[in-house]
Structure 1
Amino acid sequence: MSTQMKSAALAIVRRLNEHGFQAYLVGGCVRDEMLGRTVKDYDIATSARPEQVQALFERTVPTGLQHGTVTVVVNRVPYEVTTFRREGDYEGFRRPAEVEYIDSLLEDLKRRDFTMNAMALNAEGGLVDPFGGMTDMNERLLRCVGAAEERFREDALRMLRCLRFASEYGLRIEEKTWAALQACVGLLQHIAMERCRAELERMLGGADPNRALELLAGSSALRHTKTDIELAKLDGIPSESWPDLLAIPSADERLVYLYLRLGLEASAITEDLKRLTFSNAQQDAASRTAGAHRELSASAAGGASGGNAREAWIRALLRYGADALLRLRRLYALDGHRLLGLRSLEIMDEARAAGEAALDAWILSGPAWLEAVPAGSLKELQVSGQDLVRHLGDKPGPWTGLLLSRLLEETALGRLSNDRDTLLTAAMELYETVQKKEHA
């Protein structure tokens, strides 16, 4: 796919050239091409004005005309084509107040953030590298184009991009660039939280999330976001205490792990994720995982072992769902002793041994326990609320849900068979107890 995309991108460049315009591949696609990495998309810069680009290609979308960008669509793949431009003063430490179309590739490249992103390729594959991007990449160096402080003051988001690029590509940040970042980091308060969240997600989902955490801590970047966030406290955790976060399969799970390391409750995690503009689905998954962790932590602290560990696991399943438990099991397999507090000096040896036994059971047997559960939700239970109402001859009420929950728990724990007659018989025996609880 990447070869086809490159061929199509070069075809766009050549068509522009044939009509008398300068045109080049620019930015991240050139950087990744030079590094031998997979190119995700190709961007093109040209001396042609947006209306001239639109006139030359059959399918175009005016995605960013105010910034000189037209998207050319070839075989349903989008290619951004942007007119060479010079940018005026920036507003809000984020975007230029105005742009001026120009005919100079050099001036266009001069406005970019880092030297490795300020290179271009012509139609024949010739490299244009006026700021030494290739030399910097060969020396594993990340350096701003021109004066670093100017670049960061123009667009404060570039500071988070700096941290992301350094961690993703294994680069050291040039001294002047790092000093400028530290001097300007307070400007992150002007950046929308959704942009900060996007950069954080990419760092955690990148090639070296541990290095990203080190850089975030060293810069105190998360302490300067527009809204205060709990994740800023991560810089108080020594970098050497982090496990290899790449062992956690996704950015979302790595994020949950970070919150659990901070010892936050589910509600606090949800609020922090809201502030960071994470989706409702991500908030829900993190909240349920944290809720299950709290229950299992209490069980481990109470000396759960053997059958008790299984019961704690199944009860957490009924309340928080199988996906939360499987997610939690992966985190426990990586760093369960620390997450459950089993390394605390205050824990007596006997309690620690019981907690470790429970942890081992959850890691080794947890998935099998989930598979063996006869009913893990009310949908899987062989009786309904209407069945109970008819069988017991009572009006529907809160007791119905309470009784169904009791039946589900007894079934999931293996104390009742998941068949209708058995459950209705048990319902008769539990009915009085549930009514007393309802009216208590």
Structure 2
Amino acid sequence: MLKTNLELFDKIANIFNKHGFKLYMVGGTSRDFLLGMQVLDFDFTTDATPAEMYNFLPNANYRFKEFGTVSLKIDGEHVEITTLREEGEYVDYRHPAYIKFVKDPRLDYVRRDFTINALYIDEKYTVLDFCSGLNDLKTKTLRVIGDPYLRFEEDPLRIIRAFRFIAKFNLNIDPLTDNAIKDLAPLIKKLNPDKIKAEMRKVGEKEQNTFKKLMNIYKI
């Protein structure tokens, strides 16, 4: 991670700590940081609710506060901060029936897609790993958190995301995850085509060939 990225996280974490809350890097931010890559997207999570954040970040964007997501610009960078949460069952292949704000990352990680995206890094740069994500990152393994059949049935777009990560990071796919994708690939047809296109636009130019091969192998 670039020095300026570190300073940005430190600055925001310090604001939260002053008001009695925790801030963590998570998702692609923590993953790319641990891989020694430049971080381009800032994805943070916190034990503060949007209502609590409003007390010390009144100028942030609270448009999606019901989902726990708050956006702000700081030092010219766009940052998303999401409250730790639990989710109910998915009702439309995309959205959970309900969300519940929580304080413990151990309750939050189970809703995330892949182990390598569920690594939490706090203000002291301590890594919290509840699902062997560090080992999967080291062994270049893509593994779903929990039951892969359930996770892909919840949101089939995760299949496209799996291909994107495999192509980008040259990952090996966990056998259980592989079997679930083979069986559930037809669910992709139930998704909004615009959602699929938006995810595919995130595939880098150098990753296109591998991504297309995966789409063909799994007959999508």
> Same-fold call, TM > 0.5?
yes
Alignment deviations for residues 289-347 of structure 1 (CA, whole Å, 9 cap, x no partner): xxxxxxxxxxxxxxxxxxxxxxxxxxxxxxxxxxxxxxxxxxxxxxxxxxxxxxxxxxx
Structure whose alpha-carbon radius of gyration is higher: 1
Distance (whole Å) between structure 1 residues aligned to residue 71 and residue 86 of structure 2: 20
Amino acid at match of 1:33: F
CA distance in 2, matches of 1:65, 1:211: 37
Deviation at 1:92, TM superposition (A): 1.2
| Structure 2: unaligned runs, 5 residues or longer | none
The secondary structure found in structure 1 opposite 2:37 is coil
Deviations 1:121-162 (A, max 9, x none): 110111111111111111111000111111111111000000
Question: CA shift at 1:186, angstroms?
Answer: 1.5
| Counterpart mapping for 1:216-365 below 5 A | 216-221=215-220
What amino acid is the match of 2:52? Q
- Supply the AA of the counterpart residue of 1:218: I
SS in 1 for 2:112: coil
1:55-94 to 2 correspondence within 5 Å?
Answer: 55-94=55-94
Does residue 157 (structure 1) correspond to residue 157 (structure 2)? The answer is yes
User: What amino acid sits opposite 1:111 in the alignment?
Assistant: R
Q: Structure 1: give runs of 5+ residues left out of the alignment.
A: 222-440
Identify, as 1 or 2, the structure richer in helix. Answer: 1
**What are the superposed Cα offsets for residues 31-69 of structure 1, whole Å, 9 maximum, x if unpaired?**
001111111121111111101112112530114212101
The equivalent of 2:104 in structure 1 is 104
* Secondary structure, counterpart of 2:206 in structure 1: coil
**Paired residues of 1:31 and 1:119 also in contact (CA < 8 A):** yes
**Separation (CA, whole Å) in 2 of partners of 1:190 and 1:21:** 40
* Greater length-normalized contact order (CA 8 Å, ≥ 6 residues apart): 2
Aligned partners of 1:90 and 1:10: how far apart in 2? 35
Q: Deviations over 1:162-199 (max 9, x none)?
A: 01100111001111001011111111122111111122
1:174 and 2:174 aligned: yes
CA distance, structure 2, for counterparts of residue 147 and residue 14 of structure 1: 37
CA distance in 1, matches of 2:84, 2:138: 27
Structure number with higher strand proportion: 2
TM-score scaled by structure 1? Answer: 0.48
Q: CA deviation at 1:107?
A: 1.1
Alpha-carbon contact 1:2-1:40 (below 8 Å) kept: no
Matches within 5 A, 1:182-193: 182-193=182-193
Q: Which residue identity lines up with residue 65 of structure 1 in the other structure?
A: K
Counterpart residue type for residue 202 of structure 1: K
Give the ranges of 4+ consecutive aligned residues of structure 1 lying more than 6 Å apart after TM superposition. Answer: none
Partner Cα separation in structure 2 for residue 187 and residue 46 of structure 1: 33
Retained in 2: the 8 A contact 1:141–1:172? yes
Q: Tell me the percent identity.
A: 30
1:211 corresponds to: 210
Shift of 1:99: 0.6
SS at match of 1:32: helix
Q: CA deviation at 1:91?
A: 1.9
Counterpart amino acid of residue 214 in structure 1: K
Paired residues of 1:121 and 1:128 also in contact (CA < 8 A): yes
Task: Deviation per CA, 1:242-298: give whole Å up to 9, x if none.
Answer: xxxxxxxxxxxxxxxxxxxxxxxxxxxxxxxxxxxxxxxxxxxxxxxxxxxxxxxxx
Hey, what does 1:8 align to over in structure 2? Answer: 8
User: Alpha carbons of 1:59 and 1:4: their partners in 2 closer, same or farther (altered >3 Å)?
Assistant: farther
Shift of 1:29: 0.5
Structure 1 contact 25–45 (Cα < 8 Å) conserved: yes
Deviation for aligned residue 1:109: 1.2
Q: TM-score, normalised by structure 2?
A: 0.94
| Distance apart, 1:112 and its partner CA | 0.3
